[in-house]
Amino acid sequence: PGKINLAARLKGSGKAKPIVLIHHMDVVPADTSRWRIDPFGGELKDGYIWGRGAIDMKGTGVLQLYAFLTLARQQVSLNRDVIFLAVSDEEIGGTMGTRYLIEHHYDELDPEYVLDEGGIGSREVFVNGKLVFGISVAEKRAFWLRLTARGIAGHGSQPHDQNPNNKLMRALDRLFSQPFLTVSNSILDA
């Protein structure tokens, strides 16, 4: 859809649904005046790779590709397909990357598991000196909704119960008083 997404698949026996290894290839724009090195150079300095995308998320993409190619080269017998996806635009909403693939190719994917950037491990990024691994078990995104209330218009100096603004405020109060939903699935329950 105007951007390039890369998909590759290793066929398994089909005993289980596929696992998807997905990462995004785009990066957040960089103000080069605020960098001491070229943010798009991928420079090796002090034992680290410096540059836009080094953590988010070129490293994960390289590891996923390495794992995928190792499975292929070693001709590992798989009970499920392994799908490698490199998508083009996660940083700007995913409309031409992940969302496009879901809307137009979900039947071809139909995964049981999806591994993405939730699994980063670092000693410096989150808590200095402490090894931290993030685990992603679900995705979240903006949830836009429109509330409509019907009633009898009125004036602020003479409020009444049938005013649609009052109904909207009560509805919003009920929505905000609800606890956040907790996702539960086999990964969380294991």
Q: Which of 56, 89, 90, 116 is catalytic?
A: 90
Please confirm, yes or no, whether 43 is among the known catalytic residues.
no
Instruction: Name the strand (E) or helix (H) holding 113.
Output: strand 113-115
CA–CA dist 90, 97 (Å, integer): 7
Query: Contact, 140 vs 45, CB < 8 A?
Result: no
Q: How many helices and strands (H and E) does the chain possess?
A: 4, 8
Please confirm, yes or no, whether 26 is among the known catalytic residues.
yes
Written as six digits, the tokens of 188 are: 């969380």
* Residues noted as catalytic: 26, 90
